[in-house]
Amino acid sequence: MTQLDKSKESLHIGFGQINPTVGDFEGNYAKIISHIEQAEVQGVELLIFPELAVTGYPVLDLANKASFVAKSAQIVDRIALKTKNLKVMIVLGAVTKDGKTLRQRSFNTALVLHKGKIIHRQHKTLLPNYDVFLEEIFFEPSKKQRVFKVKGRKTGVGICEDLWEDDYGQKPLAGLARLGAKIMINISASPFHRNKGAFRAQLISRKAKQYGVYFLYSNQVGGQDELIFDGRCLIADAKGRILFQSEAFREGLYTFVLPLGSKAPLVKLNRAQAETQEIYEALVLGIRDYVRKNRFERVLLGLSGGLDSALSAVLATDAIGASNVLGVTMPGPYSSPGSREDSRRLAENLGIEFRERPIREIYDLKIRAIIEKKRQEHASVLEDAKITLAMENLQARLRALELMYISNDESRLLLTTGNKSELAMGYCTLYGDMSGGLCVLGDVYKTEVYRLAEYRNSISPVIPRESILKKPSAELRPDQTDQDSLPPYEVLDEILYWYIEKNKTAEEIEKLAELRPSSELIRQVIRKVDHNEYKRRQAAPVLRVTEKAWFGRRMPITNRFDIGGP
């Protein structure tokens, strides 16, 4: 952003689109200060950081640990002190405590700092309490709105959910408007999901127009456990036109000189990212931050020769670099020779370390022992020839044994590679392929896995064609394919989308699904999803990229309701 002429009729705005780490007060402080110093040099007049910039988001139960709240207040004071002699006015979020409240909970607060003083304080009014958000548990809501002045203009601040007032009885933005606010600021920690960016821009545009105000929207960037924040700070004018948008998924200081009162020049938005590219970049960020913020340097993952593990390996490589990724192929009794070859080729293409650890010998030993035991115990019920589910799971678990050994031995984080369609249907093995510290694709439907692979190969063809083209198979028995147990993925994923993300009944899905699955199939799928809750309850954290990922769902394990029933 070039340094434009600044009159009283313009406001030089900066967004500190930072990537804080939960609980890393010193690190977050350093980030904030460095952005403030940069902004001051550039002549920024109003610098806006995200919600809970000081503490990271979400803090969950930490919000009510006394030492955590004290540290948050202390950091705010240190920032104020540090900026005593600067011109820039700063908006940022922190956890605060404010006298006695009935429930003794903290506040999620926006603070405005200027010349070393806290000149304005606004607690969050609307506390989201659904899906992945449970802020009613952790925070006390604000009961009132107040305004302060920016360049003589009345300005109000809201925090994240306060923007989504249409869903609530209480309307914080309307409150600010009644107080005469001409500028509204919203500081957010609003996590990404598919199409969230466009949805949010639309809402901000609508709200700016509704109240006839400049709307300045700040959002954090980065990964925190399952959540991925996409940034994309925004400015809208009183006509609802988006004047500015910062980049997605990238930390930085983004500045814009807003011409107040005059006609604003319409700024071309950064190209809208294609949906698939957006998800790809989100996953890369999610992996990188989970690994780095948890102080791992290196990861490993099992390479089956299939597409899920191949894509996971590519994402991991893009996230933390080839030299930090290890791929392990573990051929078993029913692995195709192609699988091993495709894995090796992928590793070569990526330049990652590659090891081979066959599970065959131990599998044979165990199976022989099992059969021998059976022979001794119930000589008559012997079924050597049959490959049981227990034997299939045994193969998956022997692989986990190998991977977890390496993980422990070399301090490498194990990445889990199953996709959302599999997790939905329980087409995965507890303590087998479900093992790992982070599940990369657990919120990505199988059909989306194909799109992501094609997208990534369009940049450089790293994933072997064979891994994309071959029929998906767990290779746990001879000539097995996923479609022996599951409906075609296009059909399955459509049912899953309507059931999981849109909470539709079987009857509704029958009408909504474009691929016209049978009523019987829809019911089978729904039953499977519900029945497999117990597996997902023990799954690794899953990076969230859809509107409803697993940890935003809350279903009982013990549940006899046949939701697919009549």
What is the identity of the amino acid at 564? G
- Give how many residues touch a second copy by CB under 8 A: 79
Q: Name which position in 99, 152, 337, 556 contacts a second copy (CB under 8 A).
A: 556
Told to check if 371 binds a second copy by CB under 8 A, we report no
CB atoms within 10 A of CB 239: 11
Cis peptide bond prior to 566, omega within 30° of 0: no
CA distance 121 to 119: 7
Told to check if 362 binds a second copy by CB under 8 A, we report yes
CA distance 303 to 311: 10
Closest distance of CB 492 from a second copy, Å: 20
> How many residues are there in the chain?
566
Of 114 and 397, which CB lies nearer to a second copy in the complex structure?
397
Task: Give the x-and-dash track for 68-107 against a second copy (CB under 8 A).
Answer: x--x------------------------------xx----
In the region spanning residues 1 to 30, those forming contacts with a second copy, defined by CB under 8 A, are 21-25, 27
Of 356 and 484, which CB lies nearer to a second copy in the complex structure?
356
Closest distance of CB 358 from a second copy, Å: 10
In the region spanning residues 24 to 63, those forming contacts with a second copy, defined by CB under 8 A, are 24-25, 27, 58-62
160 flagged as catalytic: yes
In the region spanning residues 281 to 320, those forming contacts with a second copy, defined by CB under 8 A, are 289-290, 293-294
Q: Name which position in 267, 389, 459, 512 contacts a second copy (CB under 8 A).
A: 389
Told to check if 66 binds a second copy by CB under 8 A, we report yes
Locate the DSSP E strands across 237-367: 242-245, 252-259, 298-302, 325-329, 353-356
DSSP string, 75-104: HHHHHHHHTTT---EEEEEEEE--S--TT-
Residue 499 to residues 227, 492, 509, 526, 553, Cα–Cα distance (Å)? 22, 11, 7, 7, 11
Selecting among 51, 135, 281, 494, the annotated active-site residue is 51
Selecting among 31, 40, 97, 160, the annotated active-site residue is 160
In the region spanning residues 125 to 144, those forming contacts with a second copy, defined by CB under 8 A, are 129-130, 134, 136-138
Of 143 and 263, which CB lies nearer to a second copy in the complex structure?
143
> Which among 10-18, 66-74, 229-237, 480-488 is the span making contact with a second copy, rule CB under 8 A?
66-74
Of 152 and 565, which CB lies nearer to a second copy in the complex structure?
565
Contact criterion met (CB below 8 Å) for 452 and 311: yes
507 flagged as catalytic: no
Closest distance of CB 96 from a second copy, Å: 16
Of 379 and 561, which CB lies nearer to a second copy in the complex structure?
561
Structure tokens at 374: 């059976």
CA distance 57 to 223: 10
Closest distance of CB 203 from a second copy, Å: 17
CA distance 458 to 422: 26
Q: Name which position in 202, 503, 518, 519 contacts a second copy (CB under 8 A).
A: 503
Told to check if 563 binds a second copy by CB under 8 A, we report yes
124 flagged as catalytic: yes
Of 295 and 471, which CB lies nearer to a second copy in the complex structure?
295
In the region spanning residues 141 to 200, those forming contacts with a second copy, defined by CB under 8 A, are 167-169
> Which among 73-81, 153-161, 445-453, 534-542 is the span making contact with a second copy, rule CB under 8 A?
534-542
Told to check if 387 binds a second copy by CB under 8 A, we report no
> Which among 45-53, 113-121, 405-413, 447-455 is the span making contact with a second copy, rule CB under 8 A?
405-413
Please name which of 486, 481, 483, 489 lies closest in space to residue 336, comparing C-alpha atoms.
481
Q: Name which position in 163, 394, 424, 492 contacts a second copy (CB under 8 A).
A: 394
Please name which of 480, 388, 486, 474 lies closest in space to residue 434, comparing C-alpha atoms.
474
Of 224 and 304, which CB lies nearer to a second copy in the complex structure?
224
Selecting among 31, 71, 124, 528, the annotated active-site residue is 124
CA distance 157 to 109: 10
Closest distance of CB 559 from a second copy, Å: 5
Closest distance of CB 399 from a second copy, Å: 11
CA distance 266 to 240: 11
Of 156 and 332, which CB lies nearer to a second copy in the complex structure?
332
> Which among 186-194, 195-203, 336-344, 396-404 is the span making contact with a second copy, rule CB under 8 A?
396-404
In the region spanning residues 223 to 252, those forming contacts with a second copy, defined by CB under 8 A, are 224-225
Query: Which residues, other chains included, contact 30 with Cβ-Cβ below 8 Å and sequence gap of 6+?
Result: none
Q: First vs last Cα of the chain: how many Å apart?
A: 61
Phi, psi of 308 (to 5 degrees): -60, -50
Where does residue 292 rank: exposed (0-12), middle (13-18), buried (19+ CB within 10 A)?
Answer: middle
Residue 100 to residues 59, 77, 103, 300, Cα–Cα distance (Å)? 21, 21, 8, 49
> From its phi and psi, is residue 53 left (phi > 0), alpha (psi between -120 and 50) or beta?
alpha
> Which among 42-50, 310-318, 476-484, 530-538 is the span making contact with a second copy, rule CB under 8 A?
530-538
CA atoms lying within 13 Å on the CB side of residue 25: 16
CA distance 454 to 456: 5
Closest distance of CB 147 from a second copy, Å: 26
DSSP string, 23-87: T-HHHHHHHHHHHHHHHHHTT-SEEE--TTTTT-S--GGGGG-HHHHHHHHHHHHHHHHHTTT--
Q: Which residues are catalytic?
A: 51, 124, 160
